[in-house]
Chain A
Amino acid sequence: DAGVIQSPRHEVTEMGQEVTLRCKPISGHDYLFWYRQTMMRGLELLIYFNNNVPIDDSGMPEDRFSAKMPNASFSTLKIQPSEPRDSAVYFCASSWTRDNEQFFGPGTRLTVL
């Protein structure tokens, strides 16, 4: 298995633009997690899904952020409109269960100018 796949690896955009981050979890994993990592706040859980259903989105910063998982092999995290304070590395992770280790993707480095 190729592991968790994220795209793009780097994204530079201007304030106000829509940004879509993509994730393909490891096949067979029932859980998918989106994290944001910044120097100031460290690693933060934004939202996680179980069998494509959002379970806890309490970490989503505000309504500008939305996440979907239309099927077991694909998820998106969208920011609209983007702001400079959204600049961070966004990680996707997946696991077999909520209690097992999570396998992280390489991350998407987002820069909003």
Chain B
Amino acid sequence: GESVGLHLPTLSVQEGDNSIINCAYSNSASDYFIWYKQESGKGPQFIIDIRSNMDKRQGQRVTVLLNKTVKHLSLQIAATQPGDSAVYFCAENILPTGRRALTFGSGTRLQVQP
């Protein structure tokens, strides 16, 4: 399957541990952010999003934290499972988006060790 990059940063965690995946964005005007998960051989799949009027948003086993001061986004996965192994992308945009579409980061590979 397709995945991104020989040079992707890789996070290796033990099954059951919590994972934290980080993303730095460069455009201070960005105010909408999405995390995607891409498993081998598949297209990216939406995980969770957050708008800039929030610092934190929680989903099922996932939490996204946004620090606008340092332009940093993180994805926390609780009780990481082998099925969480994938490449994770953050994407950003500015609302209203005008002609601009989502801009994707380069991705982080998460490897879950049994």
Residues of A within 8 A of B (CB): 4, 33, 37, 39-40, 42-43, 45, 48, 55-56, 89, 91, 93, 98-99, 101-107, 109
Contact = CB atoms under 8 A, between A and B. Distances in A.
A56 B95 CA distance: 17
Contact of A99 (B32, B104, B106): B32
Contacts, number: 59
Interface of B: 2, 4-6, 32, 34, 41-46, 49, 89, 93, 95-97, 99-107
A107 B101 contact: no
Contacts of B95: 99
Nearest to B51: A99
A15 B102 CA distance: 31
Question: Which of A42, A91, A109 lies at the interface centre, i.e. has the most chain B CB atoms within 10 A of its CB?
Answer: A42
